């Protein structure tokens, strides 16, 4: 767990709450004023949500979300969480369902006193997604692109070099889970030595999934084609390590990034309401996922 100091709070921090009825953990991301809820299956859903709400208000968190198996999603929905999407193969043998909630103080309720679930702009998302599909048909992987794995220290140097440059991404999660190993990769254009993109995957070996974090967003077609090469090679490396599923999320309005993800084999599996901060305002984002390998049961069924 990250440590607090007397004057500052860490960007990423785990906060645990445990009492006689509830046991939960919130993985805070202060850059986006969001938190992922890790539920240890103790207590009923209203009790959990009351504890989550209190922590979120105290810490200045505006959005919370959790990943659950199907049977748990109904309980969260009854306490104001929206079913926003799924990650195929997140638990290796089953999918994860993303449940999201926006924090208001006092809480927003309907006429019957029930907590109101967040709603993303589905109409706008559909228009943008149609643009993504159209652009995807014109993009192809950058032939001859060279990719290689990187140590964390070398990746940190690249990240520092990208700070402040056009195309540098909004600060996405520095981590997704409570634990996980890191797999870092860079892709370079041999025709333009200064042209390079990188990504880092947080791998949860116990579940067999990987969360992808991009080092920079593509700003033109050449960079998008290089990103396709990077994502495809990252997927092959993860498959070789028996990772079943890879996922990421991206600003809804980024058509070029969406087209590159789609061309690399990812598909839209969710729309997350006000998930990111963009220019100081909450913005919807698209959840992108790619199933990398089938389980033994799926292979037998096929």
Are residues 245 and 170 part of one domain? Answer: yes
CATH number reported for the structural domain that contains residue 70 in this entry: 3.40.630.30
- Is 165 inside a domain boundary? yes
In the chain, the percentage of residues whose pLDDT exceeds 70 is 88
- Is 109 inside a domain boundary? no
Instruction: Check: CB of residue 265 under 8 Å from CB of residue 290.
Output: yes
Are residues 156 and 287 part of one domain? Answer: yes
Are residues 253 and 143 part of one domain? Answer: yes
- Is 3 inside a domain boundary? no
Are residues 274 and 129 part of one domain? Answer: yes
Of 257, 177, 176, nearest in space to 216 by CA: 257
Q: pLDDT tens-digit profile of 107-149?
A: 999 999 999 999 999 999 999 999 999 999 999 999 899 999 9
Q: What are phi and psi of 157, to 5 degrees?
A: -65, -40
- Is 278 inside a domain boundary? yes
Q: pLDDT tens-digit profile of 69-109?
A: 999 999 999 999 999 999 999 998 899 999 999 999 999 99
d(CA 16, CA 24): 6
Are residues 235 and 151 part of one domain? Answer: yes
Instruction: Check: CB of residue 283 under 8 Å from CB of residue 271.
Output: no
d(CA 147, CA 168): 20
How many structural domains compose the chain?
2
Q: CA dist 293 to 72, 151, 208, Å? A: 25, 25, 10
Name the pLDDT band for 217 (thresholds 50, 70, 90): confident
What single-letter DSSP state applies at residue 207?
T
pLDDT at 261 over 70: yes
Q: What is the pLDDT of residue 165?
A: 60
Are residues 147 and 264 part of one domain? Answer: yes
Instruction: Check: CB of residue 26 under 8 Å from CB of residue 52.
Output: yes
Counted residue by residue, the chain has a size of: 302
SS3 74: helix
What single-letter DSSP state applies at residue 285?
E
| Tokens coding 72 | 């748990």
Are residues 75 and 196 part of one domain? Answer: no
Strands (E), 190-231: 192-204, 209-214
d(CA 252, CA 274): 10
What single-letter DSSP state applies at residue 220?
S
Q: What is the pLDDT of residue 42?
A: 81
Structural domain boundaries enclosing 289: 122-301
Q: What is the pLDDT of residue 162?
A: 63
Are residues 69 and 176 part of one domain? Answer: no
Are residues 184 and 81 part of one domain? Answer: no
């Amino acid at each position: 767990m990250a440590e607090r100091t007397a004057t500052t709070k860490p960007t990423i921090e785990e906060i645990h709450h445990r009492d006689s009825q509830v046991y939960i953990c919130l993985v805070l991301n202060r850059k986006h004023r969001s938190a992922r809820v890790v539920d240890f299956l103790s207590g009923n859903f209203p009790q959990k949500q009351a504890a989550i709400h209190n922590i979120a208000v105290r810490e200045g968190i505006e959005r919370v979300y959790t990943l659950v198996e199907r049977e748990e999603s109904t309980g969260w929905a009854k306490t104001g969480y929206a079913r926003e999407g799924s990650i195929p193969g997140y638990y290796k043998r089953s999918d994860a369902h993303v449940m999201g909630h926006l924090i208001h103080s006092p809480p927003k309720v309907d006429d019957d006193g029930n907590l109101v679930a967040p709603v993303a702009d589905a109409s706008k998302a559909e228009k943008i997604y149609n643009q993504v599909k159209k652009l995807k048909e014109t993009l192809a992987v950058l032939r001859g692109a060279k990719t290689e794995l990187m140590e964390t220290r070398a990746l940190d140097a690249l990240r520092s070099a990208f700070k402040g440059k056009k195309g540098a991404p909004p600060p996405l999660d520095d981590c997704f889970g409570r634990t996980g190993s890191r797999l870092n990769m860079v892709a370079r254009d041999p025709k333009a030595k200064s042209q390079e993109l990188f990504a880092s995957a947080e791998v949860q070996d116990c579940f067999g999934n990987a969360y992808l974090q991009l080092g920079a967003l593509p700003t033109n077609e050449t960079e998008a084609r290089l990103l396709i090469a990077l994502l495809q090679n990252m997927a092959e490396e993860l498959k070789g390590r028996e990772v079943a599923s890879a996922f990421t999320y991206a600003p809804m309005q980024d058509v070029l990034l969406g087209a590159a993800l789609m061309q690399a084999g990812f598909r839209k599996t969710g729309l997350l309401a006000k998930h990111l901060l963009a220019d100081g305002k909450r913005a919807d984002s698209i959840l992108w996922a790619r199933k990398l390998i089938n389980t033994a049961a799926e292979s037998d069924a096929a």
